[in-house]
Structure 1
C-alpha cells in the first residue's frame, strides 16, 4: 500500500491562502468575482500555482464545496441522531434538509459559483449522488407511497431556486430554513 505524501509546509500555506482568497472574493463580489487571475492576486501567488493546485476554476470551486460537503457527509453517516443514524426517517429528513439549508445559506455565493460553473467539476456529481441516495432511502422508508426519487429531486430543487437565493441575499436565511422545514414536514406527514 502506497504511503500518502505529506504536503509541504509552503504548499499547505499556498493552498490555504488560495482557498481563503476565493472565499473573500465570493463574499465581496459574488460568483462573478472569482477568476483565476483575481484569486492568484488576492492569495499572493502566481496564477500557475492556482492552476497547478486546482486544475481549473471548477476544480477550485469544488475544493471549496468539498469542505462543508464532507462535514455534512460525515454527520449523516456517523453523527448523532437526528442527522445521523438512529432517528426515524422523517426526523432524519427534516434534520438533513435543515442542515442543507444552513450550508446553502452560509455558502450561498460559493454554491452559485460552483453549481453554475461551466464546465462543472466532475467530482461535484459525487456529492449529488450521495445526497440523492440518502434522501431517496429516507423518503422510501418514511413514505413508501411516494416516488421517493422524484420527490427527493423536487425537494432539492427548493434550495437551488431563485427564491432561496433571493432569501439568503436579502438576509432572510431563517425564513428560508423554516419554509424548507414546512415543505419537508408536509411531505413526510401523510
Structure 2
C-alpha cells in the first residue's frame, strides 16, 4: 500500500499543517508526474487511481483531497501536457493566418495531446449537467480548467490577429467561432480521419478560401495585392 508521504504523515490533512504546507504541493506534483507518465504511455485508460497512487507512492486518501475523482485527475494530467500557445508571426493578415494554421497542423502531427484531450472531453465526462457555472467550478474544477485551456490554445493567437485594426478593416463583421472552425476545422478533421497531413500549400489554400469568402482577394502567385473589403457592388 502506498505510503501517505515520505515521513508517513498525511500532507494535506485539514487543520494540521495549514494550506501552505509544502508537502501538499509536493504530493500533488508527484501525483501529476505519475498521471502524465501513465497518460503518455497508455492513454487516458491507463490513468487509474490504483496505478497513479502506486507509481507516485501517495495514499489514496491524499489523492482524493487533491482530485475529486479519476476524471479530474486525467483532466489535470492533460492540462499539464498541453504544448505552449504558438506565437503570433509578423507579416500581413494572410501571412499571419497561414503561419498560425501551419503551426496548429504541425502541433497536431508532432504533439497530438491537444486533439486527444478534445476527443476525451467530447466523448467522456459531461460538463453540461450543472445548474450554474459556480457549481461546475466547485465540483469539476480540473475539467473546467482543461476546457478553458483548450479553448485558449486555439483562440489566443488568433485573437491577437483578429482584433487588429487591419484585420477588422479587411474582414468586416464576422462570426468569430465560425471563423476559427473554418480555419482550424480542416486541420483537426484531417487528423481525426487519419488522412495525410496538410502541407504548407494546403494551409495556404484554407486561408485563401477563408479570406475570399469575406471579400478579400489575395493573389496566390507572385506579389500579393493588399486584400480589399467587400462592398455591395462586389461580385
TM-score, shorter chain, exceeding 0.5 = yes
- Scaled to the shorter chain, the TM-score interval is 0.5 to 0.7
Length, aligned pairs only: 170
- Residue 41 of structure 1: how far off its partner (Å): 2.1
For residues 30 and 199 of structure 2, what CA distance do their matches in structure 1 show? Answer: 31
- Residue 67 of structure 1: how far off its partner (Å): 3.9
For residues 96 and 68 of structure 1, what CA distance do their matches in structure 2 show? Answer: 20
Counterpart position of 1:122: 144
Residue 34 (1) aligns with residue 80 (2)? no
Unaligned runs of 5+ in 2: 1-18, 128-142, 218-235
Name the SS for the 1:71 alignment partner: coil
Counterpart position of 1:144: 172
1:135 to 158, 167, 170: 158
CA displacement 1:91-119 (0-9 Å, x = unmatched): 33333333434444412545543554313
Using CA pairs under 8 Å that are at least 6 residues apart, name the structure with larger relative contact order, 1 or 2: 1
Counterpart position of 1:18: 31
1:93-132 superposed matches below 5 A: 93-105=97-109, 106=111, 107=113, 109-120=116-127, 121-130=143-152, 131-132=154-155
- Residue 159 of structure 1: how far off its partner (Å): 4.9
Contact 2:47 2:74 in 1 (8 A): no
Contact 2:36 2:80 in 1 (8 A): no
TM-score by length of 1: 0.62
- Larger-Rg structure: 2
CA RMSD in angstroms, aligned pairs only: 3.8
Counterpart position of 1:88: 92
Go from structure 1 to structure 2 and tell me whether the alpha carbon gap of 1:46 and 1:30 turns closer, same or farther (over 3 Å shift). Answer: same
TM-score by length of 2: 0.53
Moved more, 87-96 or 17-26: 87-96
CA displacement 1:36-85 (0-9 Å, x = unmatched): 3322222222233233223333433333343465831xx55xxxx40xxx
